[in-house]
Amino acid sequence: MEFEKNRILIIEDESDIGELLEYNLQKEGYDTILANNGESGLQIAKKEKPNLLILDLMLPGIDGLDVCRLIKSDSDIKDISIVMLTALGQEEDIVKGLESGADDYITKPFSFKVLIARIQSVLRRGQVEESNDDQGVNIMGVKISPRTREVSVNDSIIELTLTEYQVLYLLASHPGWVFTRYQIIDKIRGDNYPVTDRSIDFQIVGLRKKMGDLGHLVQTIRGVGYRFKSND
């Protein structure tokens, strides 16, 4: 019995990089589609509904941030996982990328082995999320429904990226427990995920901002990691 291959859409305006990505991803067993600008990439995403999108930020016309926001605001395609692959590596660029809805952010030049590991991790997280039957969370004004991946703060629905959702669910379902960055990454991304980056810190920044007045419930334990405030 054949299984359906994961399909990856690559939006990259540099043809040599796009073709190299296509070649190597196909060698790994993925179906690929290549678009060289944001407009055509959005059209393909709506038509083909790929499992994952590799997205450059610096695109002609609609840039990568706007492509990401448009996808995440479209109910038909908002569940497409997005990995940003770009030369923009400043902290503020990474924060903007993750806040726009990206599930991961990789800077050029990149290791193809690392890229594959992160693609596999993002896809695996999505599959686990679809089958998650755990009980919901209702604590201090924060409600989380794993079945629908719906999060409300003070009875107002907030839109989170998959990673933000998973970080919040992990912390809120264990109030008072302190998790190191390594533990958080291991829980939501697997132990093969490179831990040299600060992606969890960036996710926490975005998460707190979206939680508004209740953002303080996600607490930083200096020198250790993060926890969700306990009821005590």
Domains detected in the chain: 7-130 (3.40.50.2300), 137-228 (1.10.10.10)
**Of 6-10, 17-21, 144-148, which gets the smallest average pLDDT?**
144-148
Bridging pattern class, strands 225-228 and 179-180: antiparallel
Q: What pLDDT does residue 217 have?
A: 96
- For the chain, the C-alpha Rg in angstroms (whole number) is 18
Task: Pick 6 or 126 by higher pLDDT.
Answer: 6
Q: How far is 64 from 36, CA to CA, in rounded Å? A: 11
pLDDT surpassing 80 at residue 126: no
Amino acid 18: pLDDT: 93
Mean pLDDT of 104-126: 82
pLDDT at 56 over 70: yes
Average pLDDT over residues 121-135: 62
Higher pLDDT, 231 or 17: 17
Q: Is residue 122 a contact partner of residue 104, using CB atoms and an 8 Å limit?
A: yes
Please compute the mean of the pLDDT values over residues 29-43 and round it to a whole number.
Answer: 95
Residue 175 CA to residue 219 CA, distance in Å, equals 11
Query: What span, in angstroms and rounded, lies between the C-alpha atoms of 208 and 221?
Result: 15
User: CB of 218 within 8 A of CB of 207?
Assistant: yes
Measured from the Cβ of residue 75, the count of other Cβ atoms closer than 10 Å reads 7
Compute the average pLDDT of residues 212-216: 95
pLDDT greater at residue 168 or residue 105: 168
Lowest-confidence pick of 81-90, 93-102, 167-176: 93-102
190/174 Cα distance (integer angstroms): 19
DSSP β-bridge partners for residue 83: 54, 104
CA 224, 227, 229, 232 torsion-angle sign: negative
SS3 81: strand
Q: Tell me, what's the pLDDT at 125?
A: 66
Beta strands in 146-221, from DSSP E residues, in sequence order: 150-153, 156-158, 179-180, 218-221
pTM: 0.63
C-alpha angle with apex 157: 151 to 162, nearest 5 degrees? 45
Classify the C-alpha dihedral 115-85-218-79 as positive or negative.
negative
* Torsion sign, CA atoms 15, 16, 22, 25: negative
Is pLDDT of 222 > 60?
yes
pLDDT of residue 121: 77
| pLDDT reported for residue 181 | 82
The pLDDT confidence band at residue 36, using thresholds 50, 70 and 90, is very high
Handedness of CA 50, 24, 199, 147 (dihedral sign): positive
pLDDT at 122 over 70: yes
Structure tokens at 60: 């002609």
- Choose between 121 and 211: higher pLDDT: 211
Task: Please give the pLDDT value at position 128.
Answer: 52
